[in-house]
Amino acid sequence: MARVPFLNAEDLPEHADLVDRIQGQRRGSLINVYRTLMHSPPLAESWFEHINRVRWGTEISGRLREVVIIRLGHLLSSAYVLRQHVPALAGAEGMTQEECAALADWQGSSLFDNAEKSVLAYTDAMAHNIVVSDDVFAPLKNHYSDRQIVELTLMIGAYISHSRVLQALEVDLEPDKSAGI
């Protein structure tokens, strides 16, 4: 049960433009994370803009973006992130269910190439250790530009924050539409 009550679009008439923008980017609905964050409209708007920028305003491919997000969902035990991204968003980027599942324990998998594995190691280090060793960082330089490394770093950091906020506020999962809920 969420620790802060959800707001609905009708609760926020003075912020209808922001609600409309969020709904336009979130498959037509005000998803639970925004129904929570809208208790502080300026921060909800900032969050929305930042998450959209790190998701779609970069040189990072959609597939790699989903690899990172789903790995963080597994690492940080974020059922909310996993429900939002598997299978719909990951599938839209060409990922299979097998690949999504393999991200729970990617190191022994042959489903990811060396470039993706370098990002997965970097993601793990940022989530677990905070300080990233040179041994983990160096392989990124073989596959990605400086800009892409900065973008990956900001994306990983944003989704670590995203998961922590969702868990601290105990934001409820979105209803599973495939189950008719």
What is the pLDDT averaged over residues 133-158?
Answer: 97
How far apart CA 66 and CA 27 sit, in angstroms, is 17
The model's pLDDT over 66-99, given as tens digits with 9 standing for 90+, comes to 999 999 999 998 888 888 888 888 888 989 999 9
Spatial CB neighbours of 181, under 8 Å, sequence gap ≥ 6: 175
**Residue 157 confidence class, pLDDT cut points 50, 70, 90:** very high
Q: How far is CA 14 from CA 48, 59, 124, in A?
A: 17, 35, 41
pTM of the full structure? 0.90
Going from N- to C-terminal start, the domains of the chain cover 9-56, 62-168
What is the pLDDT averaged over residues 151-170?
Answer: 94
Look at residue 179 in the predicted model and tell me its pLDDT.
Answer: 43
| 62-168 fold | AhpD-like (1.20.1290)
What is the pLDDT averaged over residues 87-114?
Answer: 92
Mean predicted lDDT score pLDDT of the chain: 92
